[in-house]
């Protein structure tokens, strides 16, 4: 079930993933210290493209194993029809069964352009990518484990299934917000209030603590500490009034 309009998704894309997390932690019933975000480190190979937001389409690969192509030579076409049948914007989440020994890449100039044509904005893969400049030119963002040279025997093994990447399970249809910091997987029940919560938390920071901290030049340390204490109390009070819970300060 999709809860957000395309307009909402475009507005979510205006903030980085930590800002979205700040809003999400106020409205979710999940553990903000252990759930929804990547546990293992990711690498953003196109940070200049900014954040990406979309719904997950999933695929599993094993580039080291040539048997998959022989077992189902039509898997590539079947997988592409699956991706084409899902409304965008979409983020392709790829689980690489070869990890941590990465053999080949599902991604390169051709596949990124193909998926862009099918309504995908980028990928999260715990394997490798290649043709990074050409992928960037296609406007196709990638969070991956590393770069590699070849594609080896890459072939879709299964798709439209739950996958696990960077220590986080992702289901088809999950909403994802991702950038150079990592990614956040947002459950359907947390999506309707997410934009408002993220917008509020960003505004709250910019009208309380940050102005005090940035305006500290030339002032006595004791005065700075007094004003910081006051602004943090106000920040927390604003959070409590908005979300009926205490701020995390």
Using H for helix, E for strand and C for coil, what is the string for 9-60? HHHHCCCCHHHHHHHHHHHCCCCCCCCCECCCCCEECCHHHCCEEEEEEEEE
Instruction: Give the pLDDT band of residue 202 (cuts 50, 70, 90).
Output: very high
Q: What is the pLDDT, as a whole number, of residue 46?
A: 97
Q: What one-character-per-residue DSSP string does 178-222 give?
A: EETTEEEEE-GGGSTTHHHHHHHHHHHHHHTHHHHHHT-TTS-HH
- Residue 88 DSSP label: S
Q: What is the pLDDT, as a whole number, of residue 248?
A: 57
pLDDT digits (tens, 9 = 90+) for 6-26: 999 999 999 999 999 999 999
Q: What is the pLDDT, as a whole number, of residue 246?
A: 62
Structural domain boundaries in the chain:
6-11+38-188
- Contacts of residue 65, defined as CB under 8 A and 6 or more positions apart, other chains included, come to 97, 153
pLDDT digits (tens, 9 = 90+) for 99-145: 988 899 999 999 999 999 999 999 999 999 999 999 999 999 999 99
Confidence (pTM): 0.93
Whose CA is closest to 190, among 115, 120, 243, 249?
243
pLDDT digits (tens, 9 = 90+) for 87-99: 989 999 999 999 9
CATH architecture, domain 6-11+38-188: 3-Layer(bba) Sandwich (3.50)
Instruction: Give the pLDDT band of residue 1 (cuts 50, 70, 90).
Output: low
- Residue 230 DSSP label: H
Instruction: Give the pLDDT band of residue 3 (cuts 50, 70, 90).
Output: confident
pLDDT digits (tens, 9 = 90+) for 41-93: 999 999 999 999 999 999 999 999 999 999 999 999 999 999 999 998 999 99
Say if residue 247's pLDDT is above 60: no
Say if residue 249's pLDDT is above 80: no
Average of per-residue pLDDT values in the chain: 95
Distance (Å) of CA 69 to CA 72, 153, 156: 5, 8, 8
């Amino acid at each position: 079930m999709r809860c957000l309009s395309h307009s909402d998704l475009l507005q979510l894309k205006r903030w980085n993933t930590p800002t979205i997390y700040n809003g999400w932690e106020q409205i979710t019933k999940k553990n903000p210290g252990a759930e929804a975000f990547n546990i293992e480190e990711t690498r953003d190979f196109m940070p200049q493209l900014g954040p990406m937001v979309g719904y997950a389409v999933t695929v599993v690969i094993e580039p080291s194993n040539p048997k998959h192509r022989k077992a189902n030579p039509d898997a590539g076409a079947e997988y592409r029809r699956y991706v084409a049948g899902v409304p965008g914007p979409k983020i392709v989440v790829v689980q690489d069964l070869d990890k941590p020994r990465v053999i080949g890449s599902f991604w390169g100039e051709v596949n990124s352009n193909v998926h862009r044509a099918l309504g995908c904005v980028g990928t999260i893969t715990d394997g490798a990518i290649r043709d990074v400049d050409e992928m960037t030119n296609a406007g196709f963002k990638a969070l991956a484990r590393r770069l590699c040279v070849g594609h080896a025997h890459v072939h879709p093994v299964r798709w439209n299934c739950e996958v696990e990447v960077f220590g986080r399970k992702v289901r088809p249809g999950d909403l994802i917000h991702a950038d150079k910091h990592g990614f956040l997987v947002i459950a359907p029940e947390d999506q309707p209030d997410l934009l408002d919560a993220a917008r509020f938390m960003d505004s709250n920071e910019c009208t309380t603590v940050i102005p005090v901290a940035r305006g500290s030049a030339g002032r006595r340390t004791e005065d700075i500490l007094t004003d910081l204490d006051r602004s943090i109390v106000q920040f927390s009070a604003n959070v409590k009034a908005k979300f009926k819970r205490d701020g995390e300060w």
